[in-house]
Each structure stands twice: as structure tokens, then as C-alpha cells.
Structure 1
């Protein structure tokens, strides 16, 4: 999976056209760049290699080590602007350990938004990949690459999962809503809670088991999930010249800056800001499963179907680039009410929300959580009232 010793042409353009790079970048450019793929795009031999490495890492205690680190620093890396940069370094640190076992090891991502309507039916959560829900009184997972494992942190226990909603999690956040966040948010102080209190939280909660604990790296879905969140952050960074945007609060309530040290790693945030430099020698593959770029497909559908006012409110970048259709007034009969369990090609269902226990566990600000919940609900109402039919 290693690429050539130089960036691809597209990557060079995206990295060189970001403005103020020379002023902000203090890390050397990577001599080679590898690509993190979407998990379901892996070939059988690639998946076999990754599974073998993961088994060796479990045998040698690395799952326990990363679970310990995440649990130990839990309060410092959630609910503040450390969230994205810390987890970028954390996943890359994990990946670098895996590469000690195999030089071709990379950490894939799981594009969870593709499976947002019915998460439990995702191909990823089957015996051929990461396995499904736990079974029995202790919710032990018996299939997939971690099936039958005994985890050793914080104590010896079977590897568990406990899917939300009695084993059938309700809808997660749609790719349209996440794309709307990426387009609307201009600061880290906006982006971080909008992602952390939506997609980030509901995946952890609805996978359950160790994924719903401070030691969530016991479940390899943690790495798949946070690689995807990192990919979304990178998408946000490379749009509208936001590469070096770092603001908001640190865990000690001071203002975070590019020179603030990452929790645990004691290196400045700026060292992880730009992929392709320093130790961040990776890039992301687009999702190949839809046969065309998912974002482009969604943007085309949005621009073709949404009234001008709705498009410009929720998707300002798409409105500028694509050019919205003229505004129109729809009769009340055209309003579509969002309900759970909608099928492909229908309206967008209301997403699951974080539980009170999850909010308390993280000491989140309840007002901020409610703001994100209300924003997501208003988005669903706006999309469905406009008669939008999702291609996902």
C-alpha cells in the first residue's frame, strides 16, 4: 500500500495551495506517503495482513497499552479543542506500532455515514470483518477479527459489544448533515463540538461494550472510527483555507494555539496539523464503494433539488459553487415528516442522540450538547420539508 516517494499530483496541489503554509509549517515534508483506505475496499490479502498484525499487537499488549493511555488522559482529550489533534496523533501512533510488525500495515477508516440508516446491517459488522454484537450475559463477541479475544485492561474480560436499542441501533448522522457541518463551521470551537457531540458520540454509544468506556481502544472499531473523524477534519482543513485553524479552549480552560502541547505527547499541536509533513505521512483514499465520490454525488443532488434558501443556509459552499435553483414555496402536502427506518432514496431520519450517562461520563456542557441536537433536528426538518431525497 505504500505509494511513490512523492505525493500524487492531486495531493501536491491540495497541500501547496493552502496559504501561509511556509509561515506555519515547521515539520519536514514526508519523503513518502501511504494511503489509508476505506475498510471495505481492502483486498483479501490486505485484510489478512491487517488481521495478522492486530492479532500480534493484542498478543504483545498493545491493545491494553492504548486503552490505558486513552483512559488515563480521558478528561484532557474530550470536550475541548485537544480532541481532533490528540486523536490524530493517537491513531498515527497506533499505526506506527503496527508498521513495526509489517511495513505495509495501514489503519483503514470506516465511512460510517454510508451505513447510517441501519448501522447494525453494515457489512463491516459481520464475521468477515470486525464482527457483530456480543452474545450471552457478558456480551462477548464470538466472530470477526477480535472474536473470542480476552482483553487485559482494565482487567481480564471477554471482548464485548452491546449494540444500542436492544441490538438494533437507530440511525446515525447522515453524510448530508456532516457535510453541512464541514461547510458551515469556520472555527475549531465550532467544528469540535459539532462532530464530537454528534457522529463521534453516537458511534461509541451504539457499538457499546468497551467502545462505550474510557478504554474504548480495546475495540479496533475505535481506530476505524477515529481515522474517519480525522479524515473529516482533514476535509474541513483543506476547504476554505482552514489548514492552520486552531482555536477554542484547552483542557485547562486556557486558549489553545498551534504552540499548545498535545496531551500526553508533549509536542506542539502544529506538528500534527498538516498531513504530508513530520510524522503525519499519510493521506486518505476517497470512498470507492459508490463508484463516484460521495460528496460530489450529494452536492449534485442538493443543488438540483433544494430551494435556494435551504441550500444557502445549510450548504453555503455548495450554493456558491453549484448555483442553487430558484427558491420556491412548497404546499403543506409536500412536507415530509422524518421517521426512523427510512429506506434508501427517501428522506433523512432523525439521528440517535448521546445518552445522559455518556454526557456525564465526559463532563460535557449540556447546553452545548442540546445545541448540537437541536441543530441536527432542525436540519432534518429543513431537508425533509424541502422534499429532499438522499442518494445514500
Structure 2
């Protein structure tokens, strides 16, 4: 009786969501996940994709945008935001959300795999990151209206939550500020013993600073209207997968609480999807079927089948949608410079005036990310005290990195004086 009532509730929820989720003339698809993995794909750093691979990915996400699906993802995330942030649904739910996105991508082009954006590579100077250049996905919005006018999302419009252009508004006007170095992320990996500890420290640290740094739509709960959201969260998912790989028990169990302060276990149902959290604990479990390029692959296993998963498949089957139209012709190749590995240099970035290892670069200290705004943290249901603890952690890590750099440069300076 309880399950029957739950089914009715979910059907009403999905029906009301579908009516509200997309204002574009399209049906937002809810494909079911497969019960096994025919093959496992590898998610890679987007900057390692070859020109053809990158163009295919861009071509697919442009088609998803044309169909209104990006609006749908933004609306879904916004509608249940407080159920999936600030609690232990964060990792598993977003892993399911990314897989939903990836499955829709592969309905358009079966060979496209969601890449991740490794913001740790250029953490101290994101303006130098090729991902934020016109050769990839564009950077800061245009002065005045904050519209993204370059890169793969050039002049994208959006219909959710209102009709507007896709926007980014860097936190400090012309710059995002620093992100987290991977050394600080791995410090969290080394010290967090429970799922709840790790989730809280990552969500309120490395995860949040990127959203706040890019600003505009990216710092809102409808951020999935921007394809960078999915690559950013693929990086967060990769970080979680690496932490899981250090202890096999982490592939089977979770702890902590949901938004209503009810305990979460592997059998807890994920908001909206109605699938058990346990079904999302392994990246190469049934329905997920992927690994990351530099993370040890988890052992393939078949998690407990859930009545909720079966119901979700039944529910999806009751919502057919029109056959997908043919993919439009590939867009022209994005412009690239011959130098700097083919990436277009952002204008006015003094970083490029220095070669790696030069004297100017060797003495310049790294700056840690600045504290996240308390009001912004509260609006996203995040933990202010945890964010402050994470700020102290990243400050200490960056100070240690600077001290080590100074130790390396002092003998060189002494030798130069003697000569």
C-alpha cells in the first residue's frame, strides 16, 4: 500500500515537473539506466581531447541546447536544490544527474563521453585556463549584460528561469579569484574518514569556490544551463571516485543525513530519481559504466536491485518522446592559435608574459582562494562553519607550498650572487 502511494506521488511529481521544467517546445527525456554494462567508457580531462573529439562533444551539447534540454537540467536542479545540497545526497545525486546528462548525449552521438574540467591545473590563475578561453567554452560575460559571447556556448540563450542570455560574471570583475590546488583536495582525501566528512569538506570548499568564482548563472541553482556545470561536477565526481578507491568499503556504504536530518544509507532513495543511493556508489556499476582516466577502476559488481529502480524504469517507459531529429552539420572549427598548444590567449592576461620557470614566476607567491561569501553559502544550503574551516585548511596548504618554493629558490639566488 505504501509503495503504491509512493508510485502515485512520484507520477504526480514528475508530471508537474515536466510541465514546468522546460519552456522550450520539447519533451525533456527521462531515459532509464541499463541494468548491466555492455562496455565501460573512460571520462577524460577535456583539454586532452583531440580536435575531432572536442568538436563532437561541442556539437552534441549545442544540439542539446537547441532542443531545450539544458533548460530542463537547470530547472530540475533548481527545483530540488535544498534536497541535494548541504547533506549526504550531494555526491550520489549529482553522479546520477551527470549520468542522466551523459545518456542523453549518447542518444545523439553514442561515441561521445562526458569529459571533466580539471580546474586544479590552473587553480592560481584561472584566466590562463584554456577551458575558459574562446577555444573551448568561453570566459567572463560581456560588460553590461554578462552574456557569454565566445567559445562553444557563444551567445547561448536560455529560457529558465526566465528568457535571457547565458551569463557569467566573474567574482572580482575581470578575474575569478583562485580555486583550490589539488594538493589541498588530496589533503582532504587523506584526512576525511567518513562519507559525511568528505562530502562536507569538498562541497563547502573546492566545489563552492568554482561556482562563486565564475558567477552569473554559474553561481545559481539553475547552473546546469551552462555545460561547464557538468564538466565541473564531473571533476567533483572524479575527486569522490578517487577517495572511494582508497577503501573498498566506500563503494558499498554511506553515512550522514538528508535535508530532513534523517539517516542516509545505501537503501535511501535519491530525490526525484527514486533510485537507491547504493546504485550510484560505483562508477562502473549497472547503469553508470564509466571510469576516470587517472583513478583506479573500482571492481565491477552488481549492487542490490531495488524495487524503486524497477519502478523508475516503468515510469520512464510511460513517457515516450518523439524520435530524435538528425544531428545538424558540424559547426565550423573553433579558431585556434598555432602557439600555446593551440589555445587562444585571454586578452590582458599578464600570466602569458612569463615563461614557466622564469625568475619572475619563481619568486611570485601563490595566493589562496578568498573566503566565500556567507550570504551566498546560506542561499545554497551550505555549511558556513565548514566553509570557514576549509578556508583555514587551504590557506595553510598554500602557505606551505609558498614556503617550499622559497626554499627551492633561495639556493639558486645564493649561487647567482656568488657567481
TM-score under structure 1 length normalisation: 0.75
RMSD: 2.2
Counterpart check, 1:354 vs 2:362: no
3-state DSSP of counterpart to 2:121: helix
> Contact 2:98–2:234 (CA<8 Å) still a contact in 1?
yes
> In the TM superposition, what is the alpha-carbon distance from 1:349 to its structure 2 partner?
2.9
Q: Partner residue of 2:65?
A: 58
> Contact 2:140–2:146 (CA<8 Å) still a contact in 1?
yes
Counterpart check, 1:85 vs 2:85: no
Counterpart check, 1:253 vs 2:271: no
Q: Partner residue of 2:383?
A: 365
Question: 2:253 & 2:183 partners in 1: Cα distance?
Answer: 23
Q: Which deviates more, 128-137 or 369-378?
A: 369-378
TM-score under structure 2 length normalisation: 0.70
Q: For 2:155, which of 148, 156, 159 is the aligned residue?
A: 148
Counterpart check, 1:160 vs 2:160: no
> In the TM superposition, what is the alpha-carbon distance from 1:366 to its structure 2 partner?
2.2
> Contact 1:346–1:389 (CA<8 Å) still a contact in 2?
no
Structure 1 residue ranges without an equivalent (≥5) = 1-26, 288-292, 294-341
Q: Partner residue of 2:289?
A: 281
> In the TM superposition, what is the alpha-carbon distance from 1:48 to its structure 2 partner?
1.2
3-state DSSP of counterpart to 1:90: helix
The 1:373–1:205 alpha-carbon spacing in structure 2 relative to 1, beyond 3 Å, is same
Q: For 1:75, which of 82, 89, 97 is the aligned residue?
A: 82
The 1:345–1:261 alpha-carbon spacing in structure 2 relative to 1, beyond 3 Å, is farther
Per-residue deviation, residues 104-135 of structure 1 (Å, max 9, x unmatched): 11110011100101012211111110011111
Structure 2 residue ranges without an equivalent (≥5) = 1-33, 297-359, 409-419
Q: For 1:129, which of 99, 112, 136 is the aligned residue?
A: 136
Counterpart check, 1:198 vs 2:216: no
> Contact 1:133–1:162 (CA<8 Å) still a contact in 2?
yes
The 1:262–1:284 alpha-carbon spacing in structure 2 relative to 1, beyond 3 Å, is same
Q: Partner residue of 1:243?
A: 251
Question: 1:347 & 1:238 partners in 2: Cα distance?
Answer: 33
* Number of equivalences: 311
Question: 2:211 & 2:362 partners in 1: Cα distance?
Answer: 24
3-state DSSP of counterpart to 1:114: coil
Q: Which deviates more, 277-286 or 219-228?
A: 277-286
Question: 1:178 & 1:347 partners in 2: Cα distance?
Answer: 19
Question: 2:374 & 2:187 partners in 1: Cα distance?
Answer: 26
